[in-house]
C-alpha cells in the first residue's frame, strides 16, 4: 500500500514538474528574440466614444482592431503589451497619439484591452516590447515629445517656401499624405504642448492661423 501511494505521488510530482517546464518554454516562445523591452508603466483603453473618429495617422479608429495610441513611437510600429497583473499579452499596431493622462504610457483599443483582461479595471501595469518598426527607433528621440505650430500645407515646395518667407521663424517640411507629397509650413519647436499653444496665440494676434501639432505625427 505504501509503495503504491509513493508511486502515485511520484507520478503526480513528475506531471507537475513537466507542466512547469512546458509553461516556462511557452513563456519564452511568447516573446521573439528580436523583441526589445521599451518601457513599463500604466496602460489604459479607449472605445465607443472615439469609434469612427480619425486617428493621428489619418486612419479611422476602430475599437475592434488591434491598435493603440502612443505618444512618440512611429506610426506602424508593432508592440507587444503584457499585463503585469495576469501575464496576458496582445500585439498591437501604433496608429494614434496619446494617452495624455499623467503616468500612462499606452492607450489600447477596446479589443486589445479585452484580450489582456483590463476592460473592468480600466488601467493596468504593463510592459511594452517593440516587435517591429519600419522607422528606426532612436530611444533618445522617442523618449521625448516635440511640438510645433503648423500654419499651412501646400502641394508644391515653391508655394510653401514663398509662404514661409512671410512668417518669421517658419520652415518647410516634406511629408507624405495618402501617397501624395505635401509641403508643410511649421513655426517653432517646443518640448511641451503649453509652449506651442502660447506661440500659436502670438501668431494669431499677428493674423496667422494654424494649429499645434506633435512632430512625431
In a domain, 179, yes or no: yes
Contact predicate 111/65, CB 8 Å: yes
Residue 124 within any structural domain of the chain: yes
pLDDT score for 32: 77
- Judge if 154 and 133 occupy the same domain: no
- The CATH number assigned to the domain holding 60 equals 2.40.40.10
Residues 30-65, buried b or exposed e (16+ Cβ, 10 A)? eeeeeeeebbeebbbbbbeebeeeebbeeeebbbeb
Residue 210: name the closest of 176, 170, 175, 177 by CA.
170
Q: Which domain holds residue 111?
A: 36-137
CATH code (residue 165): 3.30.70.1070
Alpha helices in the chain (DSSP H): 2-29, 110-115, 139-142, 157-164, 193-205
Predicted pLDDT of residue 216: 74
Positive or negative, the Cα torsion across 150, 52, 88, 131?
negative
Residue 104 lies in a domain: yes
Beta carbons of 143 and 177 less than 8 angstroms apart: no
Count of CB atoms within 10 A of residue 215's CB? 15
pLDDT recorded at residue 30: 64
45 lies in some domain: yes
- Same domain (yes/no): 164, 208: yes
Q: Kindly state whether residues 47 and 90 are assigned to the same domain.
A: yes
Residue from 216, 148, 151 nearest 188 by CA: 148
How confident is the model at residue 20, as a pLDDT?
44
In a domain, 132, yes or no: yes
Asked if residue 142 is part of any domain, the answer here is no
pLDDT at 101: 84
Give yes or no: residues 71 and 163 share one domain. Answer: no
Residues 24 and 101 in one domain: no
Question: Is residue 58 one of the residues assigned to a domain?
Answer: yes
Residues 86, 115, single domain; the answer is yes
pTM of the predicted protein model: 0.70
Of 137, 169, 190, which residue is a domain's last?
A: 137
17 & 62 share domain: no
User: Could you give the number of structural domains in the chain?
Assistant: 3
Is 156 found in the same domain as 77? no
CB 66 within 8 A of CB 92: yes
Q: What pLDDT is attached to residue 18?
A: 52
Q: What is the mean pLDDT of each run of 10 residues along the chain (217 residues)?
A: 51 48 45 84 94 91 97 94 97 94 93 98 97 84 84 96 96 86 95 93 96 84
* 174 shares a domain with 109: no
Report the pLDDT value the prediction gives residue 177, as an integer from 0 to 100. 74
Residues 70 and 110 in one domain: yes
Mark whether 11 and 85 lie in a shared domain: no
What would the grid cell of residue 135 be?
522607422
Assess whether 122 and 152 both reside in one domain.
no
Amino acid at each position: 500500500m505504501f509503495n503504491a501511494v509513493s508511486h502515485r505521488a511520484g507520478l503526480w510530482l513528475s506531471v507537475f514538474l513537466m507542466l512547469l517546464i512546458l509553461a516556462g518554454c511557452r513563456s519564452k516562445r511568447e516573446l521573439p528574440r528580436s523583441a526589445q523591452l521599451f518601457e513599463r508603466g500604466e496602460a489604459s483603453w479607449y472605445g465607443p466614444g472615439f469609434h469612427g473618429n480619425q486617428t493621428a495617422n489619418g486612419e479611422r479608429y476602430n475599437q475592434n482592431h488591434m491598435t493603440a495610441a502612443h505618444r512618440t513611437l512611429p506610426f506602424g510600429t508593432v508592440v507587444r503589451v503584457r499585463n503585469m497583473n495576469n501575464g496576458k499579452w496582445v500585439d498591437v499596431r501604433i496608429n494614434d497619439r496619446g494617452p495624455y493622462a499623467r503616468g500612462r504610457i499606452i492607450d489600447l483599443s477596446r479589443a486589445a484591452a479585452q484580450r489582456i483582461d483590463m476592460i473592468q479595471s480600466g488601467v493596468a501595469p504593463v510592459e511594452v516590447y517593440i516587435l517591429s518598426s519600419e522607422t528606426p527607433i532612436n530611444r533618445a528621440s522617442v523618449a521625448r515629445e516635440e511640438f510645433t505650430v503648423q500654419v499651412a500645407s501646400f502641394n508644391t515646395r515653391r508655394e510653401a517656401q514663398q509662404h514661409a518667407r512671410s512668417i518669421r521663424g517658419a520652415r518647410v517640411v516634406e511629408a507624405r499624405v495618402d501617397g501624395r507629397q505635401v509641403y508643410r509650413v511649421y513655426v517653432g519647436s517646443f518640448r511641451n504642448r503649453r509652449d506651442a499653444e502660447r506661440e500659436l496665440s502670438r501668431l494669431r494676434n499677428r493674423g496667422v492661423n494654424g494649429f499645434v501639432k506633435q512632430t512625431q505625427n
